[in-house]
Structure 1
């Protein structure tokens, strides 16, 4: 097989990695790829971590037989831009999807009708069609590619997975639905391929996503597959609950089947029972997929990656991290991550190396021997040598911005400036971001802020892309 060099640039530093060519002979040796992403699952919210009574035997087994990263970050503190980075390997500010694709009138109890929804932001915005996705790249390399679950990259036909390189889609294009009706504040939201469907209305959606993942794997035949399995669990349902005493519409919160809720009764606060239950139900669905891989013999050559799209929300806290989803504190940005690949990754390894979701796409390209996109700058690198423990992470900086909220990590220094707080923190001694060192370390503060400003200039100089910029 021919060797090929991949080049990745991270904040001005050039890295080279080696990979195999995408010829026909290499195809049979390529791994299947299962990428699993959960929704609002907090950094400590795995049973194997031990800080909460969560029941996640299947994810725990992946961690015991693979690598768990403790120092892994999402690219944004909420879902849409974070998930866009996973698909493109690029900062949200570079790929153009750097804020939520969301109708905010639901914050005021508004329920949309079909005609109003059709011209709303959730139907007219999405990931720029010029962006190249993991589906585009792996399909071109000979993979059977599918998306099951939360797509969140837009619902107009041009934004849906079948137009973004994938051959299979069952899920929702917007960023949240009711677990049983599959509506988003009144609008039916499940798709099969390019068409909306209500065929499964009434069935708990995590079970549906598990079912469709099994269907996709079964339809892959002898071709290597790439499945982007994106759960909406344990995010709150996008539907209204019982009206408040003053008549205001309220959120329904997390929904979960009673048999899972019963597992937590008396073990956690009542308000957390459904959150924990949704996590365990998702873990069971993941377990069924892993069982299918073993039954078909595909587990022997399948790379599995798992992460949450952002920090936890409504989950009883992210201690010892500060903050939660939507904040620039560690609790909003640092997420659980597991990698499993028998024979290629060590078992039971825990790494504290600095890694991010920007590394996902370059890692998939390297593992599958797939050519990186020509003329497209990726913001991450192949992290497989880091996960194996044979190399240190080349990442020494990461930057975030959500409107006026800003944050940067350079080495172990973390700076943030936001509505909910600001300061300079040394994460090596202050993971909980309790001690602001801005006054004591003005030279460090200046250096980190200068790095952020340089990154912001680089993002602004990228090719202007929609939907949030002129293009």
Structure 2
């Protein structure tokens, strides 16, 4: 008996080695995933989407080699809710992070000095740890997971490493690039580089280092740029390039139009923002080039999107989203419609898909693309887009947005539903509703609520049934609000803030513009 066991041991060992090799080969055969998320990057902030001002050849490449979802949406008009929806596959009303984490609620909102009619409701300030997030699901599927850049989904204890990422480079509490885009910066999870190192390029290099270290196994790399969030900064060379470009295209005397609460930028001619955009695109190019050089491009899914619309009002008033109305923080298409590109080797090839899709769909789509088991009990509000990538169809469904807050950019507390070509907006200040047919009116200029009363009522009923099922929270009236206070605030915006913005715009475009600080310190040489 002992002799028989002794004789069979070599065969057992050989079998185990074979199984181990087979397992390794299976891991290598799995497609890698590179997910690139820009911050505050608008639908028309790329050459491929029609911009005549910004230059984005590397982002354009992802679009033209993949599928362009023309009606791709973020799950909210501001950052934290959208980012949570990508991680969970849930609409904001369901996961409860309905505003950027750090925004004031209740009576504290009065400190903003806006004199608004409503007090925004409380919201969750971190991802729920009971959820199985997208990176956790990818780990279950055998993937190494990596995060670089902006997180903004909770304080320590709710950082990327607490929600499924093996490595975290730069993700922490805040949503803006503390210290700016040039080293030295202030980030507890990303050691500052030599003076003048660019943050976007650093995040790209960290991503490349991870890919190189894991090129022989399956990886999920999540590159989440702080760009192009304010403060907007660039190099002197790039500023000069885009200043000259604006001059060649013709500089209008005025660049803003008054919105409901703030002036809204109408032209793409900010040379500082143009340089910031190009640097982010350069960083994207660094990672794409690395995939090519390592022979990984043909086995890597690349996704590019943004967390909300470009900032046309508030913050840095950086870009225009026209012909889309509004921008970041707004209930209009400029606030929620995003660049939404999925590149799967062998699929897409620059084709355009007009089916409305959401940030909630990335979770199930990625699982489906890598052959992992879907988790419909987790990604409740997302569906796999694999059929669309194959040129097939998915069932029509309603998409909803819930933002019961005042945006820093001038947006109003509202909830939205889109179904087919129809979009309904419910406003919480006075309860009125607007109805638009996006197929015929992408700029949302013709409110059809009175003409199509039945459609308005049906969509409104469906919207609130979904919100109530998700446990949505709603704003309350501020008993201290008066029309006189609000009128006084708006008078100051129109008479002082608006002229200041027009003056600043022209200063940025002046040949002798001087920032009077070291925000283009990237000219510092490295020894």
Report the TM-score, using the length of structure 1 for normalisation.
0.79
For residue 118 of structure 2, what is the aligned residue in structure 1?
A: none
Contact 2:364 2:375 in 1 (8 A): no
Q: Supply the distance in 1 between the matched residues of 2:446 and 2:237 (Cα, whole angstroms).
A: 43
Contact 1:38 1:230 in 2 (8 A): yes
For residue 460 of structure 1, what is the aligned residue in structure 2?
A: 471
Contact 2:396 2:419 in 1 (8 A): no
Q: Supply the distance in 1 between the matched residues of 2:25 and 2:465 (Cα, whole angstroms).
A: 44
For residue 248 of structure 1, what is the aligned residue in structure 2?
A: none
Q: Cα distance 1:52–1:170, how it changes in 2: closer, same or farther (>3 A)? A: same
For residue 331 of structure 2, what is the aligned residue in structure 1?
A: 328
Can you list the C-alpha shifts for 1:345-379, whole angstroms capped at 9, x where unaligned?
A: 13121221211111101011011122234843521
For residue 393 of structure 2, what is the aligned residue in structure 1?
A: 392
The Cα of 1:69 is off from its aligned counterpart by 1.3
Q: Supply the distance in 1 between the matched residues of 2:322 and 2:151 (Cα, whole angstroms).
A: 29
Q: Cα distance 1:294–1:199, how it changes in 2: closer, same or farther (>3 A)? A: closer
For residue 42 of structure 1, what is the aligned residue in structure 2?
A: 42
Q: Cα distance 1:101–1:376, how it changes in 2: closer, same or farther (>3 A)? A: same
Q: Supply the distance in 2 between the matched residues of 1:50 and 1:406 (Cα, whole angstroms).
A: 29
For residue 266 of structure 1, what is the aligned residue in structure 2?
A: 244
Contact 1:161 1:169 in 2 (8 A): yes
Contact 1:415 1:448 in 2 (8 A): yes
Can you list the C-alpha shifts for 1:116-175, whole angstroms capped at 9, x where unaligned?
A: xxxxx99x942122222111111121111000111111231x211112111111113221
For residue 520 of structure 2, what is the aligned residue in structure 1?
A: none
Q: Supply the distance in 1 between the matched residues of 2:270 and 2:109 (Cα, whole angstroms).
A: 23
3-state SS in 2 of match to 1:28 = helix
For residue 297 of structure 2, what is the aligned residue in structure 1?
A: 299
Contact 1:71 1:353 in 2 (8 A): yes
The Cα of 1:211 is off from its aligned counterpart by 1.2
Q: Cα distance 1:319–1:103, how it changes in 2: closer, same or farther (>3 A)? A: closer
Q: Supply the distance in 2 between the matched residues of 1:351 and 1:293 (Cα, whole angstroms).
A: 26
How many pairs align?
Answer: 401
Can you list the C-alpha shifts for 1:232-257, whole angstroms capped at 9, x where unaligned?
A: 111112xxxxxxxxxxxxxxxx1122
Correspondence for 2:443 among 432, 436, 451: 432
Q: Supply the distance in 1 between the matched residues of 2:472 and 2:450 (Cα, whole angstroms).
A: 32
Higher-helix-fraction structure: 2
For residue 307 of structure 2, what is the aligned residue in structure 1?
A: 309
For residue 201 of structure 2, what is the aligned residue in structure 1?
A: 207
Can you list the C-alpha shifts for 1:195-221, whole angstroms capped at 9, x where unaligned?
A: xx4456652211111111111111214
Contact 1:102 1:175 in 2 (8 A): no
Q: Cα distance 1:377–1:161, how it changes in 2: closer, same or farther (>3 A)? A: closer
3-state SS in 2 of match to 1:265 = helix
3-state SS in 2 of match to 1:172 = coil
Q: Supply the distance in 1 between the matched residues of 2:397 and 2:208 (Cα, whole angstroms).
A: 39
Q: Supply the distance in 1 between the matched residues of 2:51 and 2:472 (Cα, whole angstroms).
A: 44
Contact 1:97 1:128 in 2 (8 A): no
3-state SS in 2 of match to 1:396 = coil
Correspondence for 2:421 among 399, 412, 422: 412
Q: How does 1:154-233 map to 2 (within 5 A)?
A: 154-156=154-156, 158-173=157-172, 174-177=174-177, 178-180=180-182, 188-192=186-190, 197-198=191-192, 202-233=196-227
| Structure 2, unaligned runs of 5 or more | 1-22, 113-121, 252-267, 312-316, 405-412, 474-527
Contact 2:39 2:229 in 1 (8 A): yes
3-state SS in 2 of match to 1:460 = coil
Q: Cα distance 1:340–1:202, how it changes in 2: closer, same or farther (>3 A)? A: same
| Structure 1, unaligned runs of 5 or more | 1-22, 110-120, 238-253, 463-471
Q: Cα distance 1:106–1:25, how it changes in 2: closer, same or farther (>3 A)? A: farther
Q: Supply the distance in 2 between the matched residues of 1:209 and 1:395 (Cα, whole angstroms).
A: 38
Q: How does 1:71-90 map to 2 (within 5 A)?
A: 71-90=71-90
Q: Supply the distance in 2 between the matched residues of 1:274 and 1:325 (Cα, whole angstroms).
A: 18
Can you list the C-alpha shifts for 1:14-52, whole angstroms capped at 9, x where unaligned?
A: xxxxxxxxx876433210000001111111111122333
3-state SS in 2 of match to 1:306 = strand
The alignment's C-alpha RMSD in Å is 2.7
Q: Cα distance 1:147–1:325, how it changes in 2: closer, same or farther (>3 A)? A: same
Q: How does 1:241-280 map to 2 (within 5 A)?
A: 254-268=232-246, 272-280=270-278
Moved more, 209-218 or 311-320: 311-320
Contact 1:310 1:333 in 2 (8 A): yes
Report the TM-score, using the length of structure 2 for normalisation.
0.71
**Which has the larger Rg?**
2
Correspondence for 1:341 among 341, 344, 353: 344
Q: Cα distance 1:131–1:321, how it changes in 2: closer, same or farther (>3 A)? A: same
Moved more, 99-108 or 26-35: 99-108
Correspondence for 2:285 among 277, 284, 287: 287
Q: How does 1:233-244 map to 2 (within 5 A)?
A: 233-237=227-231
